[in-house]
Copies of this chain bind each other. A is one copy, B any other.
Amino acid sequence: MKEFAIGIDLGGTNTRIALINRKGEILSFEEFPTHPDQQGESVLREVSLQINAILKKLKCPKENVGGIGLGCAGILSPQKGILYFSPNLPALSNLPIGKLLVKEAGLKTLLENDANAAALGEHWLGAGKGINNIILVTLGTGIGSGIILNGQIWHGANGFAGEFGHTTLFPDGIPCKCGKKGCVEVYCSAPAIVRFARKKLEEGNNSSLRDEGRPLTSRIIFEHAANGDKLSLDVFRQAGTYLGIALSNVFNLLDLEIAILGGKVSEAGDFILKPVREKVKRMAISSPYYHPQVLKAKLGDNAGVLGAARLVFKNAEC
């Protein structure tokens, strides 16, 4: 049983690499920009160089490291260690990342979907600690999700499970970049919140957002909501209501114990959590007997690296 693991969260914008021990303590954390235009192999070489630098800095011999856990957006096979398709890192598509990192870094590498890794992190040390049936939803530019059943990530038959963001909320709804219509992602992501706000402004509603000089983001709309701006509050209520409907579907299908909301939109706290909870309470069929809970994620940006490290600690071969 080796004491350390490398947890990596390989995002389209930034890559986070951490050295983590079995208690879940982060001993070293590096964040650097990902260069999505680089060749896939170069991206992995850079990751490998950073790992070596971290180990050197901490004087941690590679023999004490069980392996690398790597969380990455996209459609991938954890079993085969292949990333089939990554929307944010097209250069990595169809690469045998697992094998390449073993070669580059000399450490066993376990590949995982980034939302699954975050779910595992929150299950290990965050809002889902001690709870075995969970969906974690990351509300950001896109919407990812990781499902934990009986304490294990549910990968599905082929590793494609957890596409909650591309379940359909409105069959004839707004087109999604995935090619379908009315996906949850189009109604509950950060861009959706900005779109809702713009629409309400265009409709002539009064709002402090009219005096906002910066280009609108969900973060800025949250600030205005926190200052009591009705339009901004309404926008979060709208997104939360939609999210509540979609999460009720998950609860009704799977009878999970909790949903954990992460990602930048979840930072709006009760502005988004409250309408979600209201909807779930009304729509979960188990409600008379059991109330599924909706919680805010606890680990922030660290969920991904922690969950990725957890993968290594849970793997008997590491």
Residue of B nearest to A165 (CB): B252
| This chain's copy number in the assembly | 2
Cβ–Cβ contact B289 & A156, under 8 A: no
Interface residues of A in 252-308 (CB under 8 A from B): 252-257, 282-283, 285-286, 288-290
Cβ–Cβ contact A286 & B253, under 8 A: no
Size band of the interface chain A makes with B: 35 or more
Task: Please judge, given known A-B contacts A168-B245, A168-B248, A171-B245, whether A290 and B158 are in contact too, CB under 8 Å.
Answer: yes
A208 to chain B, nearest CB (A): 29
Residue of B nearest to A131 (CB): B157
A45 to chain B, nearest CB (A): 27
Q: Does A310 contact B (CB under 8 A)?
A: no
Interface residues of A in 81-137 (CB under 8 A from B): 84-85, 132-133
Interface residues of A in 156-197 (CB under 8 A from B): 156-164, 166-171, 178, 180
A49 to chain B, nearest CB (A): 32
A295 to chain B, nearest CB (A): 15
Q: Which residues of A contact B (CB under 8 A)?
A: 75, 84-85, 132-133, 147, 149, 154-164, 166-171, 178, 180, 242, 245, 248-250, 252-257, 282-283, 285-286, 288-290
25 contacts between A and B (CB under 8 A): A75-B289, A84-B289, A85-B288, A147-B253, A155-B255, A156-B254, A156-B256, A157-B256, A157-B257, A158-B286, A158-B289, A159-B255, A160-B255, A160-B286, A161-B254, A162-B255, A163-B253, A163-B285, A167-B253, A168-B245, A168-B248, A169-B171, A171-B242, A253-B253, A253-B254
